Amino acid sequence: MKITPMRKWFWMVFAGIGVAAALAGEEKIIRHPDPGEPLAQRWEWAMQTAGQKTDFWIGYSIRRVMGEDSHIGSFHYPPREGDMVLQELIYGSETPPGQPQLSEEEELRRAAERALGEAKKQKAPENKVLKEVAFLFRIHAGARPASILREVHVSNLSLAVDLNSLPLYWLNGAENGQSLTLLQNLFEKESSAPDRDELVAAAGLHDDPVLVIPVLQQMLNEKNGREIREDALFWLGQQDHPQALEILLKTLRDDGSEEICEEAVFAVSRMELPEATAALVELARQSNRPEVREEAVFWLGQKASREAAAALDEIAHGDEEELQERAVFALAELPDGAGIPRLIAIAKTHHNPAIRKKAIFWLSQSEDERAVDAIIELAGGK
């Protein structure tokens, strides 16, 4: 199982895990005077106003529903003295100056409250809230080369961002449709930009699958190269929409690249649609490409559904020994021990001794009481 570029995007959406992000000293922020003007015109204003003497940033934000404790970007935890988050840089600090310093007892009490809150959250689904996500584009200075984009950065406004002491021309908020049009135009023009993949990610982050899917479908075009296409597949999987599923399955039918097909299976596995689980089961059972079947079997092992368990059990009793082994492993990986009963049955009754041994091995790795009891029973010759 390889880790593709877009699977690494998971580390960027996190809750409470700090990674270093340097923040430069004094940043110059120039805000567009009319947030109601079309985004394309605001972009042109920034390009004209900035001139060509130094690199500069252009940025704007969209709104996206996210987990209450989830973030996109990077941050330093605990915050360092002098760090300012992007929202404070642009709009000024919302924290009243001169707040009283907390006593040591009060700090400990609040820390305990936060810890208790985190423990409760582990047992309940995370609340969803509307958050601002900024898209920042670093523009080349001087004569315009083939690519004007030197860097693309995506971050929540609530996180610190390093602007390298360069000016930021802030265009304010943008509607999804106007933002996607701008990103698509940049993607088409910036064929040699080093951060072109970030444009794909930025498009995929919009909360409107009907608008996002056609843009990602165009980015999936073969002319864009394997890595960009894998990125587009990943973000299609994040849309969790029947139209996106249809595109992914068409890719699996028509594309000859093993890497592309593996990424398409992974994208299908990320969807929560019932149709996506059914499609994954069908791929594991019926695909005429071994690599697709193997990938589908692996990701079925991450699905908490009766359909996944039944399909894996069926494959474990199939004709291909390598696929049988993968299905046994996937049963062991099913969430909440859902595969343990089937794994026990395989260990006791499978017609192939090698597969029975595999099942016994994976049962021995489990802390589930049912698995432990089965191992004891098998060891006693029962």
- pLDDT of 271 > 90? The answer is yes
Q: Parallel, antiparallel, or unpaired for β 168-173 and 56-67?
A: parallel
Q: What is the pTM of this model?
A: 0.80
pLDDT of res. 203: 98
- pLDDT of 155 > 90? The answer is yes
- Provide the 10 A C-beta neighbour count for residue 193: 21
Provide mean pLDDT across the span 267-291.
92
pLDDT bucket at 81, cuts 50 / 70 / 90 = low
As a whole number of Å, the end-to-end CA separation of the chain is: 37
Provide mean pLDDT across the span 98-107.
50
- pLDDT of 92 > 60? The answer is yes
Map out the domains of the chain as residue ranges.
1-93+122-179
CA distances from 277 to 58, 67, 186, 367 (A): 41, 24, 35, 27
321, 349 contact by CB (below 8 A): no
Q: What's the alpha-carbon Rg for the chain, to the nearest Å?
A: 25
Mind listing the pLDDT tens digit for each residue in 208-251?
999 999 999 999 988 888 999 999 999 999 999 999 999 999 99
Q: Which of 37, 63, 360 lies closest to 205 in space, CA to CA? A: 63
Give the total residue count for the chain: 382
The mean predicted confidence, pLDDT, of the chain is 84
Token digits of residue 10: 């998971």
- pLDDT of 361 > 80? The answer is yes
Token digits of residue 310: 């039944």
Q: Parallel, antiparallel, or unpaired for β 71-72 and 13-14?
A: antiparallel
Place of tokens 């091995």: 361
- pLDDT of 381 > 80? The answer is no
Top-confidence residue, 5 or 151: 151
- State the alpha helices, DSSP H only, in the chain: 39-50, 86-91, 104-121, 176-189, 196-204, 209-219, 226-239, 242-254, 258-270, 274-286, 290-300, 306-316, 321-333, 340-349, 353-364, 369-379
Mind listing the pLDDT tens digit for each residue in 1-35?
444 545 444 434 444 333 333 333 456 999 999 99
Top-confidence residue, 330 or 80: 330
- Provide the 10 A C-beta neighbour count for residue 252: 23
Q: Which of 337, 12, 340, 377 lies closest to 205 in space, CA to CA? A: 12
Residue 162 φ/ψ, nearest 5 degrees: -90, 110
Q: Which of 287, 294, 216, 200 lies closest to 249 in space, CA to CA? A: 287
Token digits of residue 60: 């704007």
Residue 335, preceding peptide bond in cis (omega within 30° of 0):
no
Place of tokens 């843009």: 215
- pLDDT of 106 > 60? The answer is no
Top-confidence residue, 47 or 79: 47
Pick from 37-51, 80-94, 238-252: least confident:
80-94
